[in-house]
Structure 1
């Protein structure tokens, strides 16, 4: 196939979502942690600078880093929270900057569940009182099981945040249902061992995410994009696996979800941070979760985003041509080059090389999640109106992290 001559496969082709919203092209900036909330968990002015830069970058949609639905359940000190106590004018200034040029700006709405760091919460909540395992367990306290009344309260918090997002000028919302956070915890048979209507069968385990979606839809109406990020699999024993994921996506598609972003893993098994693909075929095609996406497409035609691994225009166009996905999710490439989307749209030969960041000490890398922290320092530069600095050493990034977090520097961050 001569991609350059195939006009149908343009990355600039618009996409109409089930709700009727039109996205200007096939590129989406996936959520990345910014940690740019002030002491009251309102957005700092740097988020306006950051997202105006990305609005000029060329992608149709920018999804924010986690915006928490409950200020009593944070994933890190610098989280932004959107609730009735938020400074809505600060959010409106953010959305005004981030939606220029008809760019969509969607908040990623999240509740951490048990993935709330121990230095923040002595007793986090979860579907069941099951602690995290492995290396991450030292950073998170064992949770207590949610009462049913609390479950309904959290569902309403998601809906309230979505309503306020629309009022503040966001053009859609994304539910974070991946990476081991609360929605994913309810879906997982490993982490959800409840014996009531919220646990047991897949039908019961997906009840929480369906109720979250339904509550959001009631608040924002039928014409407002509501998307979700889901794990294709958790990659653990007794996992939420691919067959379960396909059934959940089919159900949410029937319910009316507008867009599904595919990822995988959690803090116990961090597939979402991998830099190497799981098979030779996947590596050749760049994207980490492309094979799952192809299997999903056989049974469900919901608009789909595949994120992770894409580095070249040709790799993106191949995925679209094979009907493996409707949109391409980008992350770190937009940190290093905020204009990357526009460049791959205009040049089929354009690409970028990203290396895995390391101090050279594996245990230190794992403890500090240096590969995440390095990119976060680049995001902070962008928020200050500075260009990214690819030559920044991992040690410099580590020192900056320690300076900003002090004694919390070696607690895990989120993604």
Structure 2
């Protein structure tokens, strides 16, 4: 056996001993509230399909129509022959929805964040990143070779202390999630806008978990707080509340042109398949029109958070549709997840390195398409397991 093979197998064993090993599970879609996993029907409380659009017939039909008209694949990057007219139509609708001059679509949230950050800043610049930002943001900073300054989570005072020390001649980028994916809390966007203006920084906001969920027409938390004119770079995804795939950035026309000419993760990748663009377009229209879905999601989220908190579960600082139950121990968290599956609930154990050591948790995420009866049943099952395991009394 080669030494590199022995080293990697030893590393896997070490991960196993820490109860951090991850495995893929076969999933089949059943309906907008349930899945089949390992042959068992489970109520789906683990999905980012917040508005229940992933299984919507209108998105499916739009995908089929686009594939029939444009083909199964885009066949090249957008700067070669992959920039179908459908792309331009979707980006025009996206910019209109977000109220910006222009928009650009990417293949995923990961490639978007890596590309945006590494294009905005370089070796001689500074990036101020919330300590709980998504891994794709961290990887984008590393790839950019800029100096990373991590400020304590949502701590504006700490951020300002770091900004004060920054050399005036250096380009400064502040980047944050809006809704934090593992904790369900939100960034202090108004305070971040004030600091970026005070210190002449660029402000980039990742709306992955708030697009479709907040705003009068689902534009996101930035619009909900009426800060769209003050946030320089708005990034988000279509793969969560919009039920499709891909990501976007919106902003000034010159900025989008700059990305087209400079961003490696955009230039050197094959364009999205037409079927995906068709579903994105349908989702953008539906999200703007069907406000009842957002209202239902917010009502369910508030109800679920209160019930779990009243039962004695530690849900941290969640104020959104993402509701963690903090347990701490990796082993107990895995056991809790397994017990939930045995009772018919899909909810995933989140462990380090995704979250800090000692903060392992079950991450519940809600959908507008659940029924009240399903939610009440799930709460009762969660409570029973919590009591049996001694997590709550």
TM norm structure 2: 0.29
TM norm structure 1: 0.28
Q: Which has the larger radius of gyration?
A: 2
